[in-house]
Chains A and B, each alone.
Chain A
Amino acid sequence: MSTLPRALTLPPRTGTTPAEARRAARRRSRRDRATAWAFISPSVVVILGLSVVPVVWSLLLSFRADDLVTPGRWVGLDNYRALAQDPNFRTAVGNTIQYAALYVPLSLVGGLALAIALNRRIRFVGLYRTLVFVPFVVSATAQGVLFSFILDPDFGVANSLLHHLGVSRQGFLSDPGQAMFLLVLISLWSGVGFCVVVYLAALQDVPPELVESARLDGANLRQVLRHVTLPALTPVTVFLLLWQLISALQVFDLIYVTTKGGPLGSTTVVVYFVWQQAFQMFTAGYGAAAAYVLALALLVSGGVLRLVRAREGRVEGGRS
């Protein structure tokens, strides 16, 4: 910063009364306020205009029968009552829960295991880390197209490999019993990299003295992991749990590209259901109600995790 001109200190000007100084200060602060508003107005208009307004609008929509084209009418809680009885919505909720229940724990455990393995100073470790992480930047669309091809029952390389191993042809994404598990696998392929990166960053912060002294006390690798590393990683684990849960409950792109919710509704998740209702069946009010149910679930899971985190923080604090 040597190029900056040094501030000149002027002797205090004589002849200004305190009243004049106050007026000048007021003028300055008024100008400053105007500048501040000019600076933030684009953000305020875009962000608040396209999130706060729609959140309220969505709530109003969920109390209406509306097709986005003709004027709708107020139906109160009818949409929510109908949702509670809709077997398709129940299936969508079940599928979403199944997907999240598989994806979230597997991505965390897999991410942690890989991060521990990748957290050593060996040759090529940078290359290994890059290879594990790269699928994360591939869009869900591209993943979907790629895996539709790999898992194509007729032309896919997956069946070809199974053929070489003497296993009969599989239906893969066209088999209602396999589709959801394959979608979880594809999501893991791309999603684990994020957990690995976050865990790797956190592992750097585990104090090496702690590990060292535990080793000196005769703890083996598993005991170090159990009693030193894992407790130190708790805040990161809670963060990842929340993050992965949110992304799991919102999964859409991959499903749209690969199965379109099929076969036989076996991969219709809540977001897919919302999209179908609003933009295919033109029952936007009903879709908005389903979106509100999903948002509520997200809010509740976020709140519960926050509580757990706060409790754990107290426990940790009490222990030390």
Chain B
Amino acid sequence: MNPSTPRRPSLGWHLLLAPLALAFALPLVWLVLSSVMSDAEINRFPPALWPHGIDLSGYRYVMGNALFPRWFANSLIVAVVAVTSNLLFGALGGYAFARMRFGGSRLLLALMLATMVVPFQLTMIPTFLVMKWLGLIDTLGALIVPSLVTPFAVFLFRQFFLSLPREIEEAAWIDGCSRLRVLFSIVLPLARPALATVAVLTFLTAWNDLSWPLIAINHDTVYTLQLGLTTFQGQHHTKWSAVMAGNVITVLPVLVAFLLAQRTFIQSLTSSGIKG
């Protein structure tokens, strides 16, 4: 690994790593392949291992289904609202905890951090009751409200703001800038790594969640993609190409997001994991 040591032949490592990496990729390759197969190719035994030409009937089938685009839109709405509000409220809360002193701030911060270790299963039944009391069950509101801001976002922003030198802001305070203005015009433009981390992780969590939508939503017009996908499987057992096409469309947004933001993504996972 040291650049000064002579390069050892790497063929052995390739012989080990290439099949392993391929094994990890194979299920996803099969996902894409089967989504463009014709039903005849899928339903025979043994099934074809490679499609003869690209058959898009599976995609036409799911997109023609009136509900599927709606599920996609629902998922998108929930994820976009969650990302936006976590950035906004997380930054506001994190800034207050990092830079302002007020009675009870330590206790509140400790309490918020403590909630990070509370398992979802413990809170899901009462959260359902709270949402019912608010009249939000079976609406997108029930999915949006609990994901508006997470303790993780507040904590991550606080840590990031603490690492910024105070001097940058002090000049603006002395000039009489309001806290809000300082935050938005000076601090946040410097906080790009924190903003990216929170955005990426919030999107991933919101887009991929199944448990909470399963509890909070009954009516299929309010389903998210993940929830829709589970019913899809039962209803269309003979139309596997459509199920796989739906699955590709569900996986694609996070896959694209990951490939675009790979570096940020991996950094955020490791740092939030180890240091958080």
Residues of A within 8 A of B (CB): 1, 4-8, 32-33, 35-37, 39-40, 42-44, 46-55, 57-58, 61, 68, 114, 117-125, 127-128, 130-135, 137-142, 144-150, 154-157, 159-161, 163-164, 189, 193-194, 197-198, 201-202, 208, 212, 236, 239, 243, 246, 249-250, 252-253, 256-257, 271, 274-275, 278-279, 284, 287-288, 291-292, 294-295, 298-299, 302
Bitwise, B120-149 to A at CB < 8 A (1) or not (0) is 111111111110100000000000011011
- Which residue from chain A places its CB closest to the CB of B115 in the assembled complex? A51
CA distance A134 to B255 in the complex (A): 8
Asked if B240 is an interface residue, CB under 8 A from chain A, the answer is yes
Contact between B149 and A46, CB atoms less than 8 A apart: yes
A122-B13, A150-B30 known; A54+B130 contact, CB < 8 A: yes
CB <8 Å contact, A47 and B154: yes
Q: A39-B92, A50-B146, A250-B119 are in contact. Are A198 and B274 (CB under 8 A)?
A: yes
Query: Which chain B residue has the least Cβ–Cβ distance from A273?
Result: B121
Q: A134-B25, A155-B45 are in contact. Are A32 and B100 (CB under 8 A)?
A: yes
Given A150-B30, A274-B124, 8 more A-B residue pairs with CB atoms under 8 Å apart are: A46-B146, A50-B127, A54-B127, A131-B24, A133-B266, A134-B255, A142-B247, A160-B45
The interface of chain B, by Cβ under 8 A from chain A, is 1-2, 10, 13-14, 16-18, 20-22, 24-25, 27-28, 30-31, 34, 42-43, 45-47, 49, 89-90, 92-93, 95-97, 100-103, 105, 108, 111-112, 115, 117-130, 132, 145-146, 148-151, 154, 168, 170-172, 174-175, 178-180, 186, 204, 207-211, 214-215, 226-227, 229-230, 232-233, 240, 243-244, 247, 250-251, 254-255, 257-259, 262, 265-266, 269-270, 273-274
Residues of B within 8 A of A274 (CB): 121, 124
* Chain A interface, DSSP helix/strand/loop, else mixed: helix
- Kindly report which residue of chain B lies nearest to residue A208, judged by CB atoms: B2
Q: Which of B31, B90, B101, B168 has the most CB of A within 10 A?
A: B31
A208 CB contacts on chain B under 8 angstroms: 1-2
User: B20, B123, B127, B208: which contacts A139 (Cβ < 8 A)?
Assistant: B208
Cα A299 to Cα B25 with chains together (Å): 36
One of B2, B105, B210, B240 near A140 (C-beta < 8 A)? B210
* Measured CA separation A1–B97 after assembly (Å): 24
- Which residues of the other chain, B, contact A134 by a CB distance below 8 angstroms? 24-25, 28, 255, 258
Q: Please state if B118 and A135 are interface contacts (CB–CB under 8 Å).
A: no
B10 to chain A: closest CB distance in Å? Answer: 4
- Whether A68 contacts B128 by the Cβ 8 Å rule is yes
Give Cα A40–Cα B115 distance, bound, in whole angstroms.
Answer: 16
Find out whether the CB atom of B21 lies under 8 angstroms from the CB atom of A128.
Answer: yes
Given contacts A43-B90, A208-B2, contact A120 B210 (CB under 8 A): no
- Is there an interface contact between B28 and A198, defined as CB atoms closer than 8 Å? no
Contact, CB under 8 Å: B21 / A127: yes
